[in-house]
Amino acid sequence: MLIKGGRVICPAQKLDKEADLLIEDGRIAGIGSFADQAETVEAAGCIVAPGLVDMHVHFREPGKEDEETIASGSAAAVAGGFTSVATMPNTEPAVDDEPSVAFQRLQGERAGKARVFPIGAVSVGRQGERLAEMGQMVRAGAVAFSDDGDGVRSSRLMRVALQYAAMLGKPVIDHCEDRELAGRGVMHAGYWSVKLGLGGIPAAAEEVMVARDLILAEATGGRLHVAHVSTAGSVELIRRAKQRGVPVTCEVAIHHLVLTDEWVKGFDPNFKVNPPLRSGEDVAALRAALADGTIDCIVSDHAPHALEEKELEFALAPFGIIGLETTLPILITHLIGPGVLSWPQAIAAMTLNPARVLGLEVGTLQPGRPADVTVIDPKTEWPIDTARFRSKSRNCPFHGWKAEGRALVTIVGGEIKHDARP
């Protein structure tokens, strides 16, 4: 297969030039100038990137298959340009042992869309008490550990988890949230929570756990990845820790880069996420941290919920929104278009960087690597319409927004898995 005449961007090779990309036997064969092949994808005017990697998604299998299955979730992934996803283990039951990791991997293979990399739970049943069998989960293919949905409340357990994870060469991904400080809050604590009369979650609820985990990572040498960083204070803590060599990486969710807490004023539960949408100053700090490399990765934190749950009033609705089919267009429209991020920066945050955090061989177009490629049309305008999503859920705050750009062709292992060419 030949992908012809696109702007090939590969951060791993510091490459950004117009070229053809040749694929043979499911692997990248070369970048340069080649004769047409049996299958040629015309990519003039398009970006040709390594297949996008979303290291933070929630597929609801097992347990809530009405909201998302591994098949529907990975179909949504390739439609959004993602060739690899890492799935959080807060299913019902939780993915906390060898068979459950193996089951998710198998379901991913059966679906045959995006590559599915399970993340195992830190604690048995995500109860925060006993350490799960991390070594056995790695044998079954777990790429990291997390009790996401909740923080690891016990400092002792977090310390032991980082020690084990270090031995296994895997990161611990922490959802940093101090439950006592978060209390019954439903949105960011600030001007808007007071004005709207809704319970607030202070920035400190996140920052105290970020600070604790940085200390524990530094003490143990275990690799910490901070999930969905949302405050200026967290960013500053991580920036300073990186400067002194603490083994830490972090990610930001796309919605925290484009939405502030002011959006909650319509009381639409599709703006209810955890961590909550923060202030304008926080959003500015997150954008600056992405641009200067303090934040490594951009994720969707794709969190499907059934319509009847999300139709509850704001205070009662569950936290979480879906994002696999909107992350790339929102990124192009609101961050790359206005010049907040360059194309190579944005591509690195969605390919090479998450692949490195998880130790995956994808995320690059180096010859010999798996031919996971996303051809991006950076220009076409289209209205985001949840009715057309492959995801089983519809809890998306961007419904009705105008987007510019999208995944045109998504290729996994040399096979076209999504094709939006006219």
Interface residues with Zn ion (CB under 5 A) are 148, 175, 301
Q: State the minimum distance, in angstroms, from the CB of residue 88 to Zn ion.
A: 5
Is the CB of residue 349 less than 8 Å from the CB of residue 54? no
From first CA to last CA, the distance across the chain in angstroms is: 19
Q: State the minimum distance, in angstroms, from the CB of residue 256 to Zn ion.
A: 12
Is the CB of residue 273 less than 8 Å from the CB of residue 304? no
Rg, the chain, Cα only: 20
Residue 48 or 286 having the CB closest to Zn ion:
286
- Classify residue 77 as exposed, middle or buried by CB count within 10 Å of its CB (0-12, 13-18, 19+): buried
Residue 95: closest CA among 169, 166, 145: 145
Is the CB of residue 269 less than 8 Å from the CB of residue 326? no
Residue 175 or 255 having the CB closest to Zn ion:
175
Task: Please tell me which residue in 174, 178, 213, 301 is annotated as part of the active site.
Answer: 301
Q: Which residue lies nearest Zn ion, judged by its C-beta?
A: 175
Write the DSSP string, 20-32: EEEEETTEEEEEE
Is the CB of residue 150 less than 8 Å from the CB of residue 128? yes
Residue 333 or 353 having the CB closest to Zn ion:
353
Where do we find the tokens 């484009």? Answer: 258
Q: State the minimum distance, in angstroms, from the CB of residue 356 to Zn ion.
A: 20
Residue 67 or 301 having the CB closest to Zn ion:
301
Report residue 4 CA to chain centroid gap: 29
Report residue 361 CA to chain centroid gap: 17
Q: State the minimum distance, in angstroms, from the CB of residue 158 to Zn ion.
A: 15
Q: State the minimum distance, in angstroms, from the CB of residue 228 to Zn ion.
A: 6
**Residue 25 annotated in active site:** no
Residue 61 or 148 having the CB closest to Zn ion:
148
Which residues are catalytic, by number?
Answer: 301
